[in-house]
Structure 1
């Protein structure tokens, strides 16, 4: 078991960043994660506190973790074993951010209490806690430092609510040693994250790192076994990431067709038809400009 704390973390992706730990495939890592605001909000947060946020401190990451045997073209796997959230969550409207930013220009915050698997959302709604990791990604091949806010081919700020306990996230490796970082834990979120934030919180997460040779994935993918993460049976989720939702939807569908051929021997035409009748196309995230995330979600139990 390796352990890492967000005080040893960073903001921004950079392939030159020195790793904080070196791990082997099969190792587990416990990660203490800050909330996406970097600890700037308290349980009595107000709109004034949102207006005063230092956004340069947003989405701090814990890592990077190096896997010395990982090489470009490989697939890094991140199996989520546990997520323990903090006691408080925040959902903020940040001026200029979110799907309807032009219609909701003023700062606002809803503070949630997280207890016994429940989110008390501002005292006016109650929903089940469904914690997941909003940001899980690898260093991109492009040189220089890159913002954490937009998701990308190597993962990052996907805000995909399926990256929860039991799920295995597959990420394409672009640089030697992969350089994995994690952050942005959420207690709950709907697909799209339309106001720009989920129930943002701190958390301690435990993940198991794996490595698959080759694969050269076009974008992140998720494998979910039957159980708490996938009550209806094992699922496969493929994604498309980019600035055009239509193109991203095509990419997610194309990736599913490819996986059904590789893993299950389906002809492309049959896989494509199956996607049309059995898979759900979802907008996972539509607020982290300039890239959006679309997912195609298939319950694998339909296969004979």
Structure 2
């Protein structure tokens, strides 16, 4: 018999900003239940469709990365695994990407981009065609996913929702889209599952510190799995279904080489920004934002010490009408 579906709205009472295994569940469900959640964006809904760069001055980092939950799953015990099936992910009509200033700036090149910038994206006009427009001639595929997905940690106390953990959290993995499933190691009775931080698109690395952040309605199925002790961190499985893309035009990539993996990543990103400014006539700030939502950082060499090689890769099919 199919279990009843459940609906959770976003509110202060139904969300939290810290992982804490003493939190009271907002919902208790049997395994294999479906839940629909109305989720906030990663900024805690502090921006709207009419916000401007000036709006960043009132941004409160203490409200960032709220998670809706926790949900208690019956029969879930420490040592089990929680399977999260992403059945539907629907973004709101708008999203935002920001270069945040000062202590708010999580970007890979925070030292080079000290000034705030806020871009508001229209996620409605071309939604049926599967993309949002960065600017004329540059289209970004909408590939929705949740940045924050996790279960409670075994350790007592409060743990920020901003970083990722072995139990999930702010993993920001763009590959766990609709149709995919995520496996999380359960550390406490009931699992205490929470999620949030909707994204309409992101590159691997989220290099400027934000993706296309958006509020999201997510329909998921939560199932307890026994006997998989090898799952000790988030594992995921993609659907194999190809998302809609335009004519494949290949990729442009810059390699960063350095003995420090982070510095190699920075060098690759800097090189891609320089290419975008020189060849695509974008500003440095536009290039940084575009790289965050569309380019992928990839380790291409990790054994020939003392140097690592990291590629910053941009798909050329985002440039519509370009040769």
Q: TM-score range by the shorter chain?
A: 0.7 to 0.9
Three-state SS of the structure 2 residue aligned to 1:187 is strand
C-alpha contact (below 8 Å) 2:42/2:65 kept by paired residues = yes
Three-state SS of the structure 2 residue aligned to 1:45 is coil
Indicate yes or no: 2:199 matched with 1:186.
yes
Match of 1:111 in 2: 120
Instruction: Quote how far apart the aligned CAs of 1:218 are.
Output: 2.1
C-alpha contact (below 8 Å) 1:30/1:204 kept by paired residues = yes
Residues 193 and 70 of structure 1, relative CA distance in 2, 3 Å threshold: same
Residues 110 and 230 of structure 1, relative CA distance in 2, 3 Å threshold: closer
Give the one of 29, 33, 36 matched to 1:30: 36
Q: Report Cα offsets for 1:24-45 as digits up to 9, x if no partner.
A: 1111000000111112112122
Instruction: Quote how far apart the aligned CAs of 1:144 are.
Output: 0.7
Match of 1:219 in 2: 233
Residues 122 and 201 of structure 1, relative CA distance in 2, 3 Å threshold: farther
Residues 121 and 18 of structure 1, relative CA distance in 2, 3 Å threshold: same
C-alpha contact (below 8 Å) 1:165/1:229 kept by paired residues = no
C-alpha contact (below 8 Å) 1:171/1:219 kept by paired residues = yes
Instruction: Quote how far apart the aligned CAs of 1:245 are.
Output: 6.8
1: CA distance, partners of 2:33 / 2:215: 23
Three-state SS of the structure 2 residue aligned to 1:50 is helix
User: What is the TM-score when the length of structure 2 is the normalising length?
Assistant: 0.70
1: CA distance, partners of 2:240 / 2:68: 29
Match of 2:18 in 1: 12
Three-state SS of the structure 1 residue aligned to 2:143 is coil
1: CA distance, partners of 2:236 / 2:180: 7
Three-state SS of the structure 2 residue aligned to 1:49 is helix
When structure 1 is superposed on structure 2, of 118-127 and 50-59 the one drifting more is 118-127
Instruction: Quote how far apart the aligned CAs of 1:68 are.
Output: 2.2
- Structure 2 counterparts to residues 43-192 of structure 1, below 5 A: 43-95=49-101, 96-115=105-124, 116=127, 117-121=130-134, 125-192=138-205
C-alpha contact (below 8 Å) 2:149/2:170 kept by paired residues = yes
- Structure 2 counterparts to residues 150-299 of structure 1, below 5 A: 150-216=163-229, 217-228=231-242, 282=298
Residues 98 and 164 of structure 1, relative CA distance in 2, 3 Å threshold: same
Residues 74 and 178 of structure 1, relative CA distance in 2, 3 Å threshold: same
Instruction: Compare CA radii of gyration and give the structure with the larger one.
Output: 2
Runs of 4+ aligned residues of structure 1 deviating over 6 Å after TM superposition are none
C-alpha contact (below 8 Å) 1:86/1:203 kept by paired residues = yes
C-alpha contact (below 8 Å) 1:15/1:179 kept by paired residues = yes
Q: Could you list the runs of 5+ residues in structure 1 that have no partner in the other structure?
A: 232-243, 247-280, 284-304
User: What is the TM-score when the length of structure 1 is the normalising length?
Assistant: 0.74
Residues 122 and 4 of structure 1, relative CA distance in 2, 3 Å threshold: farther
C-alpha RMSD of the superposition: 2.2
1: CA distance, partners of 2:137 / 2:168: 34
Instruction: Quote how far apart the aligned CAs of 1:111 are.
Output: 1.1
Q: Report Cα offsets for 1:200-255 as digits up to 9, x if no partner.
A: 00010000111111323221000123224699xxxxxxxxxxxx979xxxxxxxxx
C-alpha contact (below 8 Å) 1:164/1:229 kept by paired residues = no
Three-state SS of the structure 2 residue aligned to 1:103 is coil
Instruction: Quote how far apart the aligned CAs of 1:135 are.
Output: 0.8
Tell me the matched-pair count.
238
